[in-house]
Amino acid sequence: MPTAGQSGRVPARSKRADAVRNQQTLLAAAAEVFVTSGVDAPIREIAAKAGVGLGTIYRHFPTRADLVVAVYRHQVEACAEAGPSLLARADSPLAALRQWIDLFVDFLVTKHGLANTLQSDSSGFTALHTYFVGRLEPVCAQLLDAAVDAGEIRPGTQPYELMRGIGNLCIGHDGDPRYDPRRLIDLLVQGLQRPQSS
């Protein structure tokens, strides 16, 4: 752990690491709030969840769009990094795939408000969508391949196709409290499984 020198100053590297860690905490808190309250949630709710002041949020993210895009990228990275980690520690590749899909759904719930937030910047939204697909499709492919190799699911499901299907099932979640996309997504995953031989 870095110590203060004779001047009493902490080395810059430590400050940068703290700033990055604080920003990651803030983004994780914002993502949680967006999932439960939507991207139009009050900034003070995010600040309270993160344990920071409003000024800290506005210093890092001057506009709501800046915050939403940063949360979007943060969630894409978290979802991408979770795939291999889940595969390494889950009971089976199918269990890892199910856990990853659950994270993916949390991400999609946040993503649906993104288009409205970036209405004035369609090129920015397109670039983010390209980044999202490019980053997550290989992770989904790895999980599907592992589950196929383990004999847990049928071969032939394309990762983009599965991600798109899950995304389509998540549409409408905001507007109808009676609709639970996770139940239908569970049915979709059950449909991928190989029938158990008796």
CATH number belonging to domain 69-198: 1.10.357.10
> For the whole model, what pTM was predicted?
0.78
Residues of the chain with CATH 1.10.10.60: 9-62
CATH 1.10.357.10 region(s) of the chain?
Answer: 69-198
AA identity, residue 45: E
Residue linked to tokens 């389509």: 168
What's the rounded Cα separation, in Å, for the pair 167 and 110? 11
In the block, which residue shows the tokens 């499901």? 157
Is 9-62 assigned to CATH 1.20.1090.10?
no
Short-list 15, 19, 52, CA closest to 33: 52
Q: What is the pLDDT along the chain (198 residues), one digit of tens a residue?
A: 444 445 555 455 555 777 777 888 899 899 888 877 877 889 999 999 999 889 989 998 998 888 988 988 888 999 999 999 999 999 999 999 999 999 998 888 766 666 566 555 566 667 888 898 999 999 999 999 999 999 999 999 999 999 999 989 988 766 677 888 889 999 999 999 988 754
